[in-house]
Structures are given as structure tokens and as C-alpha cells.
Amino acid sequence: MPEAKIGVIGGSGLYEMEGMTGVDEVKVKTPFGEPSDSIVVGDLDGKTIAFLPRHGRGHRFSPTEVPVRANIYALKALGVELIISVNAVGSLKDDVHPLDIVVPDQLIDRTKSRVNSFFDGMGLVAHLPFAEPFCPVLSDILYRAAVDAGANVHKGGAYIVMEGPFFSTKAESNLYRSWGASVIGMTALPEAKLAREAEICYATLACITDYDTWQETEESVNIEIAVANLQKNVDTAKKIIGMVAERIPQSRECVCASALDSNILTDPQKIPARTKRDLSLLIGKYVQ
């Protein structure tokens, strides 16, 4: 099976990565079922990357239905250490405009129906720190690459993750604005939490498609507006990803690389044998 250090999860509108060479399409089996689609592994600007369309080619999975555990596990199985996530989001701030890009540094979880851990129902408990939900090192690389790519990019800000598939009511949108959040979308969680459990660095290119529903002078968000603006941002996102691939450090010094260390609470003797086997990719270096 081919290996890649860098993983890219494409959001709405980003279903493939042009410019990749030596492409190999891989189907990865996981304990959590099949990923959203086969993973495309190939070279981009001299770096090997693994690309996975979050919603599947043809956009077959709603935000709540995305098999996120299978997706993150499959990327881990291919050797991925860093994930660049591309997300379509709405702006909650006057100075963050459609077609801008935000590299957020915080998350607020408003989802209701998603499994947030690899360990749920597995007879294993781990409590990981999540004060910084995005890898600060990878986020800084993303931001600098976006600046160099000529994007109108904002560094930092809180990303509200809502359940979907409906967009916000105006009351909700204004509530989130009162919290000081920058953007709202449907897909950064549980990806960020699962990436942390998998000890993978995770950062987001949040592509602004609209003003959600709070902006009285603009048409309220609908799928036509969102998709049209996202398509305009796709080329910029691809350019940024190519530049990021050139700048990835050889070794990781961030806390992401050892996030599980000392944070598994369950007595190893009490962890079911099947769990040890199925999750050896994640916990094998800590639990024998």
C-alpha cells in the first residue's frame, strides 16, 4: 500500500486534486467501515499526498453522514501525519467577506448526532487535551502559504460547527455572532478530535461562501450561493495546498505527535483483546 505524509480532505466543491502525478487510487479497509471514497495518493510539487473527498465523489454524504472515523483511520493507515482540511463556511463577521479564507484557531461544537471518539463503545477511555483544537504549527504554515498565494486570508478565529444539513436560523446566526465567532460550517468536527486521537496534525482552510443568515443587506445563504462561491475558491485552495506541501518540516515538534501519551486511563489489562487488535494502529505504542 502506498504511503503519504500529507493528507488533504476536500470539502464541498473539491472532489479531486489536479496536478498530481504518479497517482494510485487506494481502497482502505478500517474497523469503522469504508471511508467516504477511495483515497488518491500521488505527487504534488515533489511531495506525496493522500487526497480524500469528504463527501465522496458526486457528494453522496451529508455532513452528519460522513464516515469520519473511517476517513481519519484510513489516512493514518497510509502514514499520514498532517491533514489539511478544506471547508466551506459562512462568515459571522462584517470584515470577513465571501471568497476570503480563514485559518481558524478555535472550535465551538454545536453538533448533536456524531461520534466524537475512536474509543466509544470499545472498552477504552482516553481524555485528551483540546485547548488548541488545530495544530498551531500547521496552521501557521497554511496561513503563510495563503498570504503568498495572494488570498485575502484571516489568521485565527473561532469556527462554529453546526449539525446541518439545514443552514442557520437568523436567531442562531446572531447568537453565534454575539459569541464572537468568526465562521460557521458543518464539517470540522469530529474530524479535528479524531485527528488528535490519531496523533495527526490537523488544520483548516475555511473558505468563505456567504454571510450565513445574519447579514440583512445580503441574500440569505442558500446552496446555489454557497457552491458558486466555493468553486471560485477551489483554485486558490489548490494553489495553497501545493505551497504548503513544499514547506512541511521533516519532523514534528508539536504536541499532536504524542497526544495520546499518558492520556489513556483504562488499565491495559482491562482493554478487550479485540480493541487492542482493531486499534493497534492508534494505541499500539502505548498499550501492549
The pLDDT score that the predictor gives to residue 104 is: 98
How does pLDDT run across 84-119, given as a tens digit for each residue? 999 999 999 999 999 999 999 999 999 999 999 999
Given the residues 37, 100, 109, 210, the one annotated as active site: 210
282 with 78: CB under 8 angstroms?
no
Q: What was the pLDDT predicted at 246?
A: 85
Task: Yes or no: say if 136 and 159 are a contact pair by the CB < 8 Å rule.
Answer: no
- Residue 43 known to be catalytic: no
Backbone angles phi, psi at 256, to 5 degrees: -60, -35
Is the domain spanning 6-283 CATH 3.90.1170.20? The answer is no
Rounded to the nearest integer, the mean pLDDT of the chain is: 92
Confidence band of 49 (pLDDT split at 50, 70, 90):
very high
212 catalytic residue (yes or no):
yes
**pLDDT (tens digit, 9 = 90+) per residue, 129-173?**
999 999 999 999 999 999 999 999 999 999 999 999 999 999 999
Name the active-site residue from 212, 235, 261, 267: 212
Mean pLDDT value of segment 185-198: 98
Contact 64/41 with Cβ under 8 angstroms? no
pLDDT tens by residue, 223-244: 666 666 777 777 888 889 989 9
Q: What is the pLDDT of residue 10?
A: 87
Chain centroid to Cα 53, Å, comes to 11
CA distance 160 to 181: 7
82-91 and 183-185 beta bridge pairing: antiparallel
